[in-house]
Amino acid sequence: MKVFKGDPIAKGIAMGKMFFLHEPEENASSVKGGPDEEWQRFLKASEKAMDQLNGLYEKTAAELSEEEAAIFEVHMALMEDEDFTDAIRENIESGMEASAAVSEAGARFSEMFSQMDDEYMRERAVDIKDITIRLKNILNGIEDISVKEPSVIGAGELRPSQTMQMDRKMLLGFVTRYGASNSHTAILARNLGIPAVSGIDDVKDLDGAFVIIDGEEGKVISEPDEETIREYEERSAKIKAQKEELLKLKDEKTVTKSGRSIKLYANVDDIDDMELVKESGAEGVGLLRSEFLYLKSSDYPSEEELFKAYRKAAEEMAPKEVIIRTLDIGADKQIDYFNLEKEENPAMGLRAIRLCLKRPELFRTQLRAILRATAYGNISIMFPMIISTKEVDMIKDLLEDIKKELVSEGSEVGEFKTGIMVETPAAVIMSEELSEKVDFFSIGTNDLTQYTLAIDRQNKDLGDFFDAHHPAVLRSIETTVKNAHKNNCIVGICGELGSDITLTDFFLDIGVDELSVSPSKILELRKHIIASE
Amino acid sequence: MKEFTYTIKDEVGLHARPANVVSKEARKYNSKIVVSFNGKTAELRKLMQVMSLGARCGDEIKIVIEGEDEDKAFEELVPFLEENL
């Protein structure tokens, strides 16, 4: 038995025999004709490849959807691309054998895409490799792979046509060496509802072995012993049963037996996760971390890019609320192009709202994008790291100013609520005054704990002193709720404590209005609350 | 010669499916249609070139049409882009 650790890119557990997809050998065909002959061979192979792709298109459109089949239309178009065929022709004319000519041209074009700094564009390199290999296989007389028994598919990286050629009933899961969470492999696995793990360097060696894929923890276990198999069989059955049980609660209200109710919202890191959120049973988005667009790009994102993303979030969730937290950069979240100076004490430095107020252009762009998106759903705006009413006044003036500007430009601005993160002791102490100025609070328990206890949670040596349930933190939360409710200000909790079920009763008791947690935890939390008094 | 700019509205930008749709449309005309973005240019009829521009949602691309059917291409291409990109 051997355990390999990788990255989980699609959830679930599966076990079965590994079928590794070998890439064809780089052997040139033994018979090589003159340029004319080789060119004719290529044309014939290209025709056959087009037939195959056409078939795959039809099959995918029928079995999945036209949208997922569109990739094969792109493959057909790439195969006919004049630049691509010209390159192959030049190679053949310079004396290369057809398959080598295809190989060289394919490598050149896929290299061009793999060097681009856009992740989606880099995925196109895989498409070019795919058509290149298809052509080479035809030229070299290699048959398409077919999986005859239910198998765990292993590969260096999976190409879309490989997976679509296979009988879906034969696919148990994917193990690959390469492929991120938005790769073809990951998307397909999630669509099929099978697990996938990437980042396994030695996947090739597992060909033919009996393996367990653990898509929850990102592990692959080869030749597991009896006990491990039994353990995973139990876990797999349990996961299935639990999932079914929990899914029944998806559209239920979150109310205790005695009638106390609380809203369960989701924390979202990336707009790509919206699908997941919609399936999670969340009653809204309590914290949309807006850093993702900034972290993903190599330069400041444009207002238009930001607007698109916020609009999408608003539209997908409507009429449910989406709380967008403005940029929280600095401290442990650094971005190269922001060119922030190194600080002695970054946790207490130029971060979050402070950075935004110091760089009005940056803040303005984001606020304009958010306000424009308010016309498309139920958006609220939340500001991080507030310590005084002065900051709130500055922000509100700015919002008013931008709103006027947008209206004068002819843009529509919808209704929206404003709120702040309560994550500093100062905000707790000032909570009564602050709650007069905003519609809602969201208590960020991670930072509030760190600042209240003056303990850096990353520092393992401090473990003995740290107490997640320290009375100072719990009392701060209670004070905040009490003060806020005097002014009809809604209070949510969006830190890790929100999903701590040993505290749920306490939160219900003190009157917390909303808990925002990771989407995967919502149904479990709802189950717990429905069962409590 | 006809010239216009267009801001991409399609979420995934100018590659894969949308690029293919637009590139295919360009092949209907005899005119040379050149699209430029970020200092790079591509012939609209050539999919690889178009995709390699790396133009994304929200980016503004410039399109220049030159040839015998440029008036027709211009008239038809603008609404086509609005619809498909």
List, for residues A137-150, the tens digit of each pLDDT value. Answer: 888 877 666 677 88
The model's pLDDT over A104-114, given as tens digits with 9 standing for 90+, comes to 999 999 888 88
- Catalytic residue numbers of B? 15
Distance (Å) from the alpha carbon of A303 to chain B's nearest alpha carbon: 9
Kindly tell me if the per-residue pLDDT of A272 is higher than 80: no
A345's tokens: 């004490």
In chain A, whose CA is at the least distance from the CA of B18?
A: A74
Mean pLDDT on A221-237: 94
**What are the domain boundaries of chain B?**
2-84
pLDDT interval class at A192 (50, 70, 90) = confident
Contact A82 B52 (CB under 8 A): no
| CA atoms of A310 and A308, how far apart (whole Å) | 6
Q: Which pLDDT score is estimated for A24? A: 61
Q: Is B42 on the interface with A (CB under 8 A)?
A: no
- The pLDDT mean for chain A works out to 89
pLDDT interval class at A30 (50, 70, 90) = low
Q: Is B46 on the interface with A (CB under 8 A)?
A: yes
Q: Which pLDDT score is estimated for A439? A: 98
Site of tokens 């065909």: A29
Kindly tell me if the per-residue pLDDT of A16 is higher than 90: yes
In chain B, whose CA is at the least distance from the CA of A106?
A: B48
Kindly tell me if the per-residue pLDDT of A224 is higher than 80: yes
Q: Count A/B contacts: CB-CB distance under 8 Å.
A: 59
Q: Is A407 on the interface with B (CB under 8 A)?
A: no
Q: Is A462 in contact with A455 (CB distance < 8 Å)?
A: yes
* Chain A residues within an 8 Å CB radius of B60: none
- Please tell me which of the candidates A109, A117, A121 has its beta carbon nearest to residue B15: A121
Q: Which pLDDT score is estimated for A143? A: 63
Amino acid making up residue B35: V
Q: How far is CA B56 from CA A118, A372, A460, B10, B39, in A?
A: 9, 20, 43, 8, 14
**Closest of A107, A102, A133, A128 to residue B48, by C-alpha:** A128
The more confident residue out of A201 and A164 is A201
Determine which of A178-192, A332-346, B12-26 has the lowest per-residue pLDDT on average. Answer: A178-192
Q: Which pLDDT score is estimated for A405? A: 96
Mean pLDDT on A415-439: 98
Distance (Å) from the alpha carbon of B72 to chain A's nearest alpha carbon: 24
Q: Is A206 in contact with A222 (CB distance < 8 Å)?
A: yes
Kindly tell me if the per-residue pLDDT of A393 is higher than 80: yes
Q: Which pLDDT score is estimated for A179? A: 79
Work out the number of other CB atoms within 10 angstroms of the CB of residue A310.
Answer: 27
Superfamily of domain A22-139: PtsI, HPr-binding domain (1.10.274.10)
Q: Is A86 on the interface with B (CB under 8 A)?
A: no
pLDDT interval class at A426 (50, 70, 90) = very high
Q: Which of A287-301, A344-358, A480-494 has the highest mean pLDDT?
A: A480-494
pLDDT interval class at A25 (50, 70, 90) = low
Kindly tell me if the per-residue pLDDT of A163 is higher than 80: no
Distance (Å) from the alpha carbon of B19 to chain A's nearest alpha carbon: 9
| CA atoms of B9 and A529, how far apart (whole Å) | 43
Kindly tell me if the per-residue pLDDT of A478 is higher than 70: yes
Cβ partners under 8 Å of residue A400, min gap 6: none
Q: Which pLDDT score is estimated for A458? A: 66
Q: Is A62 on the interface with B (CB under 8 A)?
A: no
In chain A, whose CA is at the least distance from the CA of B21?
A: A74
Residue from A75, A184, A356, A489 carrying the catalytic annotation: A184
Q: Which of A151-165, A291-305, A377-391 has the highest mean pLDDT?
A: A377-391
- 3-state SS assignment for residue A27: coil
Q: Which pLDDT score is estimated for A424? A: 97
Q: Which pLDDT score is estimated for A354? A: 95
CATH class of A247-531: alpha beta
pLDDT in tens, chain B (85 residues): 989 999 998 887 887 788 888 998 998 899 999 999 988 899 999 888 898 888 888 889 999 999 999 999 999 998 998 888 8
Kindly tell me if the per-residue pLDDT of A298 is higher than 80: no
Q: Which pLDDT score is estimated for A293? A: 84
A8 upstream amide cis, omega within 30 of 0: no
Does A184 qualify as catalytic in the annotation? yes
- On whether ipTM exceeds 0.90, the answer is no
Q: Is A109 on the interface with B (CB under 8 A)?
A: yes
Q: Is B16 on the interface with A (CB under 8 A)?
A: yes
- 3-state SS assignment for residue A181: coil
Which DSSP string corresponds to A482-501? HHHHHTT-EEEE-SGGGG-T
Rg, chain A, Cα only: 28
pLDDT interval class at A340 (50, 70, 90) = confident
The more confident residue out of A45 and A269 is A45
Superfamily of domain B2-84: HPr-like (3.30.1340.10)
Question: Boundaries of CATH 1.10.274.10 in chain A?
Answer: 22-139
- 3-state SS assignment for residue A464: coil
Which DSSP string corresponds to A43-109? HHHHHHHHHHHHHHHHHHHHHS-HHHHHHHHHHHHHHH-HHHHHHHHHHHHTT--HHHHHHHHHHHH
Q: Is A266 in contact with A285 (CB distance < 8 Å)?
A: yes
Contact B57 A305 (CB under 8 A): yes
Contact B48 A81 (CB under 8 A): yes
Q: Is A328 in contact with A385 (CB distance < 8 Å)?
A: yes
* Chain A residues within an 8 Å CB radius of B47: 74, 77-78, 81
Question: Boundaries of CATH 3.20.20.60 in chain A?
Answer: 247-531
- Please tell me which of the candidates B11, B20, B49 has its beta carbon nearest to residue A77: B20
Q: Is B36 on the interface with A (CB under 8 A)?
A: no
Mean pLDDT on A209-225: 94
* Chain B residues within an 8 Å CB radius of A74: 16-17, 19-20, 47
Contact B12 A70 (CB under 8 A): no
Kindly tell me if the per-residue pLDDT of A514 is higher than 90: yes
Determine which of A387-396, A493-502, B13-22 has the lowest per-residue pLDDT on average. Answer: B13-22
Q: Is A423 in contact with A447 (CB distance < 8 Å)?
A: yes
Helical axes A98-114 vs A82-93, angle rounded to 10° = 140
* Chain A residues within an 8 Å CB radius of B7: 304
